[in-house]
Structure 1
Amino acid sequence: MPDAPTGVSRALREAPPDRVVEAADRAIRSVLGASGTVVFVADYRINGLWPVLDSRQPDAAAHALQGPLQRCFSSQQPVRAAATDGSCQLYLPLSVWGERLGVLMVEMPEEPPESVVRRATDIAGEVALALHAADRETDRYRRARRQERLSMAAELQWELLPGRSVSHGSFQLAGQLEPAYTVGGDHFDWSLDDGRLTVTVLNGDGIGLTAALLTAVTVNAMRNARRSGGGLVEQAELASDTVYYQHRGHRHVATVLLELDCATGRAQAVDAGSPHLLRLRGSTVSRVPLEQQLPLGMFAETRYALQEFDLDPGDRLFVVSDGVWGADPSGRETYGERAMARAMRATRLQPPPEAVGTVMRELQAFHADADLRDDAVVVCLDWQGPDGRAD
């Protein structure tokens, strides 16, 4: 079956965007001799995987992140589950450039040899790429992801995100927003260009739709400067001026802007009143010492200065908003005093997409599983060194 990925690729390209799953099923049955397939997508909270079924089938049920589904999604490796009748379910990660979309389950009539598993893994990559592209042309896959209605503010925020994770030879990066279905002003953005990674994390002023609109303006102003070739200072200053001349200092956005040289680990930063930046080096958690400057939009013509620091291979950075750092649901010490460091250390063996989930779960437990009182954003960045191998 040397042309297996090619045959599936053609079928996916020719399929309407809302029928990628059906096209994949037909092609995989034909190419691999499978007896069936199921595409699962991760929900907004990443605490369950949901089958993409026809909208006329209301009995779609969540599959909790456990068993072979969980092992596949977490490890990003193929997982086999043999049945007593000799058949086998093959679970394959659906991911694109480090963005974890879900899992493809392929039902095989018998235990497949390793060569078939490799072909199936390649096919899953083709399916993931097709789903990633089709997601902009149909609402079908987004409906499968959401298990309750998003607020208008959350709809804006999720549409504005670049993704939830991305990987490169020298780094891994992931972020998460909570409360996922009602988040307002907190946000993150990133872009990789010519070996330089730009990351911004924002803590927008206000709540609900008002905060989301303010964040949308700020993010797009920074993108405008960045896409025009501007560095961090120009991005911060254009965004600050844009917010100021719209709101005359009555609204502002606390922001941290980072740019990482992926070859050297040298980082530049603009700390504009910012979310909190912490480094995990080995088992030691420390604040990255940055001089805090004015939040974006407080005054006209505010000027910003660059600061620099170095990362060692294996360093992990967390950027968290006030909704994480300053959480104090019962009037006791804030989450950032000690609980945040404990949560960070607990993530040492986890990749960033798992690590942000761990910190968010610990934050939820800190709130005694009650709804978060404030928006929360967690971004995790691992720099693995220029050759991709941490010391």
Structure 2
Amino acid sequence: MDEESVDRSEGFGERLLGVLLDRARLVPPQLIAPLIAEEVAGIGGRDVSILLQDYAQELLVPLAGRNLHMGQPQPVGDSPAGRAFLRAHVVEVPQAHGGVRMYLPLLDGSDQVGVMALTLDAVGDDDRRLLCRLAGLVADLLVTKSAYTDQFFQARRREPMSVSAEIQWALLPPLSMCVPQVEVAGILEPAYRVAGDSFDYALNDSILHAAVIDAMGHGLDAAVMATIAIGAYRHARRVFVSLEEKYAYMDDAVSREFGPDHFVTAQLMHLNIATGELALVNAGHPAPLLVRDGRVVRQLESATTLPVGFGGERPRIRQHMLQQGDRVLCYTDGIIEEHVGDGELYGEERLIRCVNRLGEQSSEGVRADLRRLSHTLKAERGGRTSDDATLFMIEWHGGAADHLAVLD
């Protein structure tokens, strides 16, 4: 194409997004949400709210700020804002006195940050396109600015948080990731008192690296042990590629720091997102469940290696082959070792029945389905979570994503 024929004129939508970007660079964190409200007003939007997910994944909580509409927190499970959040699509609600209330998911990559709500007199396709792009920019700005302030973290808290939980939440990657070939999601309970459970993942080229851990004990000791285990895992992941070396690095770090009387159980995985080949190391952890068409078909068994920190021998790796649409559900023992009303342990059989029962319902995506499973399990345990209880799910789709790098 001739350079002179390229149209570089600035359209209305580009000007709006460009002005927001230009101003946001120097705006302090507490003024980001008011700035967004001001820009939305420029296209006729009113009653702008920025709603962030609380740590327990139960409510969407409004941010306070000048020009922002401060309503009540919205339930994630049963509200227009919650539907937009869980399903990651725009929800439009006609208003009794005219206009349309729009709820736009705030997606940073594919991790749900929250929801932006606003009201327009009328909504057309141009409005939807511009606002969806604006919502993507808003999500990125909120995530970027959150590194410089506690305001957004404080808004998400609905009850006091322990120091150990503070450490664990700072340690976590985004709670979900979605690319065409694979999706992942994780959830921690109890959200405000979690200590020794954690998970981590990274997508490096065609390999999804994932780990779920459970450090022994409770409180700060467990949180510190989990931090060292995850730190060693990330270091090994960024230097080596083999599961054996990851295990060895974690084992050495935990044993050197804590001695022979402390340990961390772990699941370490490599998933080739192009082929569905799954390599698994089980270091004293409950075996993951393979979920196919909404039902548990089997445990993903592997030869159990000693927990991290015991100086175990070279771990044995088990290979599994996934089918497109398969889900791998990892969990920590706090899920199945909670005592229920009859005094018995909740147990793996009850977990499997719960997964199968929920699998009969229509899927709303990995993130929403895992949240529903976590909250259902908690209800079946009588609302009790005396030990950390973590769920982590992978759904494999396969295929390629190269076309996404080609501009239309």
TM-score by length of 2: 0.89
Do the aligned residues in 2 keep the contact of 1:343 with 1:358 (CA within 8 Å)?
Answer: no
Do the aligned residues in 2 keep the contact of 1:48 with 1:63 (CA within 8 Å)?
Answer: yes
Counterparts of 1:282-301 in structure 2 under 5 Å?
A: 282-285=293-296, 286-299=298-311
Q: Which residue in 1 is equivalent to 2:372?
A: 358
Displacement of 1:218 in angstroms is 0.5
Q: Which residue in 1 is equivalent to 2:49?
A: 38
Task: Say which of 58, 83, 86 aligns to 1:71.
Answer: 83
In the alignment, residue 206 of structure 2 is paired with which amino acid?
G
Alignment of 1:236 onto 2:244: no
Rounded Cα–Cα distance in structure 2 between residues aligned with 1:240 and 1:203 = 13
Q: Which residue in 2 is equivalent to 1:12?
A: 24
Unaligned runs of 5+ in 2: 1-11, 402-408
Displacement of 1:352 in angstroms is 1.4
Rounded Cα–Cα distance in structure 2 between residues aligned with 1:36 and 1:359 = 34
Displacement of 1:268 in angstroms is 1.1
Q: Which residue in 1 is equivalent to 2:322?
A: 311
1:101 partner SS = strand
Rounded Cα–Cα distance in structure 2 between residues aligned with 1:125 and 1:203 = 34
Do the aligned residues in 2 keep the contact of 1:8 with 1:123 (CA within 8 Å)?
Answer: no
Q: C-alpha offsets along residues 178-199 of structure 1, whole Å, 9 cap, x if unaligned?
A: 0000011011111111121111
Rounded Cα–Cα distance in structure 2 between residues aligned with 1:67 and 1:309 = 40
Q: Which residue in 2 is equivalent to 1:378?
A: 391
Rounded Cα–Cα distance in structure 1 between residues aligned with 2:211 and 2:71 = 37
Rounded Cα–Cα distance in structure 1 between residues aligned with 2:314 and 2:182 = 30
Rounded Cα–Cα distance in structure 2 between residues aligned with 1:125 and 1:183 = 31
Q: Which residue in 1 is equivalent to 2:406?
A: none
The number of residues matched between the two structures is 382
In the alignment, residue 296 of structure 1 is paired with which amino acid?
V
Do the aligned residues in 2 keep the contact of 1:8 with 1:28 (CA within 8 Å)?
Answer: no
Do the aligned residues in 2 keep the contact of 1:276 with 1:322 (CA within 8 Å)?
Answer: no
Q: C-alpha offsets along residues 38-69 of structure 1, whole Å, 9 cap, x if unaligned?
A: 100000011101001049x9x87422232311
CA pair 11-276 structure 1, distance change in 2 beyond 3 A: farther
In the alignment, residue 114 of structure 2 is paired with which amino acid?
G
Counterparts of 1:165-176 in structure 2 under 5 Å?
A: 165-176=176-187
Rounded Cα–Cα distance in structure 2 between residues aligned with 1:344 and 1:208 = 33
In the alignment, residue 271 of structure 2 is paired with which amino acid?
L
Q: Which residue in 2 is equivalent to 1:139?
A: 150
Do the aligned residues in 2 keep the contact of 1:49 with 1:102 (CA within 8 Å)?
Answer: yes
Counterparts of 1:15-164 in structure 2 under 5 Å?
A: 15-30=27-42, 32-54=43-65, 61-65=72-76, 66-108=78-120, 110-164=121-175
Displacement of 1:385 in angstroms is 1.8
Q: C-alpha offsets along residues 230-260 of structure 1, whole Å, 9 cap, x if unaligned?
A: 4221111011011112222100000000111
In the alignment, residue 33 of structure 1 is paired with which amino acid?
G
In the alignment, residue 221 of structure 1 is paired with which amino acid?
A
Counterparts of 1:181-200 in structure 2 under 5 Å?
A: 181-200=192-211
1:337 partner SS = helix
Rounded Cα–Cα distance in structure 1 between residues aligned with 2:357 and 2:103 = 30
1:2 partner SS = helix
Identical-residue share of aligned pairs (%)? 27
Do the aligned residues in 2 keep the contact of 1:276 with 1:325 (CA within 8 Å)?
Answer: no
Q: Which residue in 2 is equivalent to 1:266?
A: 277
Rounded Cα–Cα distance in structure 2 between residues aligned with 1:372 and 1:115 = 47
Do the aligned residues in 1 keep the contact of 2:236 with 2:246 (CA within 8 Å)?
Answer: yes
Displacement of 1:387 in angstroms is 4.1
CA pair 43-6 structure 1, distance change in 2 beyond 3 A: same
CA pair 229-268 structure 1, distance change in 2 beyond 3 A: same
Rounded Cα–Cα distance in structure 1 between residues aligned with 2:364 and 2:96 = 33
Query: Is 375-384 or 305-314 further displaced after alignment?
Result: 305-314
Displacement of 1:383 in angstroms is 0.4
In the alignment, residue 339 of structure 1 is paired with which amino acid?
L
Rounded Cα–Cα distance in structure 1 between residues aligned with 2:271 and 2:283 = 17
2:236 partner SS = helix
Q: C-alpha offsets along residues 294-341 of structure 1, whole Å, 9 cap, x if unaligned?
A: 000013x64223221111100011000000133333323533113334
Rounded Cα–Cα distance in structure 2 between residues aligned with 1:240 and 1:341 = 34
Q: C-alpha offsets along residues 113-148 of structure 1, whole Å, 9 cap, x if unaligned?
A: 121111101100000011111111111111110111
Rounded Cα–Cα distance in structure 2 between residues aligned with 1:100 and 1:19 = 21
Unaligned runs of 5+ in 1: none
Alignment of 1:339 onto 2:351: yes
Displacement of 1:276 in angstroms is 3.0
Q: Which runs of 4+ in 1 moved over 4 A?
A: none
TM-score by length of 1: 0.93
Displacement of 1:171 in angstroms is 0.9
Rounded Cα–Cα distance in structure 2 between residues aligned with 1:287 and 1:350 = 24
Rounded Cα–Cα distance in structure 1 between residues aligned with 2:65 and 2:48 = 14
In the alignment, residue 224 of structure 1 is paired with which amino acid?
H
